[in-house]
């Protein structure tokens, strides 16, 4: 593991503070480990504090000098998002926000505490609200960066669903793909607005390729097609130690420009490389609609005007 990250030449992160959502498992855990090895202080934003503390102890056994804080964040609850964000703003500048946490292939349509479809509510709307509320802390950092973790599926689900998963027929893969399309659309629109406002924060995107994470393998009564998809991912997908490379690079590479998408060089595996965003993620009309609707639904307007 250490040699792999050295090979990536992760830039020195001493003196920088990072927030990683979903940091106790999968891609978030590996990203946290890479960032603390590079010297960053990392806030592990987790839904389950017990699991978060166990993950932090695992990291400290490998990196005794790791600077870690485990703090509760439930992206399915806007109240939790607001409480977490306010505490972090009060703590000072944030240099890296890695919007990593997510759910995948929820078998039936479920709603969050605020009535959002579960994939969309956690993967996009929760992170939209978090980013908006953390913007004051990001603006206090010289060269802060927001990393939004999307998925290869975003390009295969057609135009953005204006029902945000609550209308029409429900299929787990489409709901997941739509949420990751929203993540991509938001990440790109965030960069447009930050740039237009002349602000020193950049927004970039990353995808892990076909990665086997804990979120793809829950123990539930999913339909056979969902179980097969999870099984295929567990067997054929790359491990989190590989999948996280793109988002760590996206968070730390000094040469990366805002609005770029980073993924494995060979689509599913390989060293991080620039990837081409599908046209469906770059539709400015859809982006404006999603931005305005997300702000309305969450009550968290980043206040960045229009594009």
Nearest to 184 by CA among 303, 57, 81, 277: 277
Exposure string of 125-151, with b = 16+ CB inside 10 Å and e = fewer, is bbbbbbbbbbbebbeebeebbbbbbbb
Query: Which member of 14, 29, 82, 176 is catalytic?
Result: 176
Name the pairing type of β-strands 202-206 and 145-149: parallel
Going from the C-alpha of 18 to that of each of 88, 165, 207, 243, the distances in angstroms are: 11, 31, 19, 19
Sign of CA dihedral 211, 258, 154, 175: positive
Please provide the size of the chain in residues. 307
Is 249 one of the catalytic residues?
no
Nearest to 186 by CA among 128, 129, 122: 128
C-beta atoms surrounding 258 within 10 Å: 17
Partners of 114 in the beta sheet? none
C-alpha 263, offset from chain centre? 13
Give the position of tokens 């479920």: 110
C-beta atoms surrounding 264 within 10 Å: 24
Give the position of tokens 């620039």: 274
Contact 271, 264 (CB under 8 A): yes
Contact 207, 246 (CB under 8 A): yes
Give SS3 for 157. coil
Nearest to 200 by CA among 88, 94, 99: 94
- Give the chain's count of helices (H) and strands (E): 11, 8
Q: Which residues are catalytic?
A: 176
């Amino acid at each position: 593991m250490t040699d792999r990250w050295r090979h990536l030449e992760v830039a020195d992160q001493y003196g920088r503070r990072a927030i990683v959502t979903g940091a106790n498992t999968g891609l978030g855990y590996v990203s946290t480990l890479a960032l603390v090895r590079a010297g960053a202080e990392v806030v592990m934003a987790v839904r389950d504090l017990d699991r978060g503390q166990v993950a932090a102890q695992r990291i400290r056994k490998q990196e005794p000098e790791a600077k870690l804080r485990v703090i509760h964040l439930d992206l399915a609850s806007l109240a939790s998002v607001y409480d977490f964000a306010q505490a972090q703003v009060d703590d000072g500048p944030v240099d890296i926000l890695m919007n990593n946490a997510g759910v995948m292939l929820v078998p039936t349509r479920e709603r969050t505490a605020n009535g959002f479809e579960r994939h969309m509510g956690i993967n996009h709307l929760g992170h939209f609200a978090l980013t908006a509320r953390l913007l004051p802390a990001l603006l206090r950092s010289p060269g802060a960066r927001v990393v939004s973790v999307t998925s290869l599926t975003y390009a295969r689900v057609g135009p953005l669903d204006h029902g945000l998963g609550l209308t029409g027929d429900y299929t787990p893969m489409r709901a997941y793909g739509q949420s990751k399309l929203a993540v991509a659309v938001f990440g790109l629109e965030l960069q447009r607005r930050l740039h237009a406002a002349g602000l020193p924060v950049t927004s970039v995107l990353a995808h892990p390729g076909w990665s086997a994470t804990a979120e793809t393998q829950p123990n539930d009564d999913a339909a056979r097609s969902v179980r097969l998809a999870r099984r295929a991912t567990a067997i054929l997908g790359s491990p989190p130690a590989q999948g996280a490379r793109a988002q760590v690079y996206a968070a730390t590479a000094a040469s990366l420009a805002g609005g770029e998408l980073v993924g494995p060089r060979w689509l599913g595996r390989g060293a991080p490389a620039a990837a081409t965003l599908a046209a469906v993620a770059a539709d400015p009309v859809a982006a404006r609609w999603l931005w305005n609707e997300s702000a309305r639904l969450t009550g968290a307007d980043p206040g960045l005007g229009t594009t």
